[in-house]
Amino acid sequence: MIDLSGKSAVVTGGSRGIGRAIVLRLAEQGADITFSYRGNEAAANETVAAVAKMGRRAVAVQGDASDPASADALVKRALDTFGKVDILVNNAGITRDDLIMRMSLDDWRAVLETNLFGAFYTLKAVTRPMLRARAGRIINITSVSGQMGQIGQANYSSAKAALIGLTKAAGRELGSRGITVNAVAPGFVLTELTQSLAEEWKQRIIEQTPLGRFATAEEVANAVAFLASDEASYITGQVLAVDGGMVMM
């Protein structure tokens, strides 16, 4: 059984969807959580309350993932509250979909700055405390879009592909100090966003997925919990696909 008792985890974008599922899964396994949210304070408070019901502690910190000062403040809050950071999950992300010929520079820049730069900022912020502790688990949430590309998602696919490169580079750089760095690559997941897809698109996605269905946010969270645990102590620089077989590499 995965045991994260006594661990302190930082999760970016933890108030809704996959991020919320990750927060709850890590708390269920015994971790205390510091998570960021962008604007939905009510959802953040609900997540804090859900963690408290499990007998664990959670702190919600409002911030913008694309702002390096927000990353520093998030990690500082975790250190001030729990004294350490054992686990970092870079989950925060946005989409601004459009075809390349119509994509604005602002939409290109916003997705890269949130999904890629934001992950770098928090990874950089936890590096020093993890190096001092000579231990740590870093998990970046990438996507099948970063592995195979998606029409209308040049910005998102580019950011998620680069996040895989960041995972591997950081894994090599930090491994000698006992810090592992891995990525989880979800396929299409049942969230508020995908529920609104047209039925034609949902059916097309299901047909492209060997397991014949969407993932749940909890299934992604299960993979994160494993990579955050002692059971994954000899795994680093890897991309764990939770995509129903959509991308086989």
37 is catalytic: no
Spot the catalytic one: 37, 121, 156, 234.
Answer: 156
Output the CA–CA distances (angstroms, integers) from residue 41 to 60, 61, 63, 119, in the order listed. Answer: 9, 9, 11, 22
Output the CA–CA distances (angstroms, integers) from residue 123 to 36, 75, 118, 139, 148, in the order listed. Answer: 14, 10, 9, 10, 25
Known catalytic residues are: 156
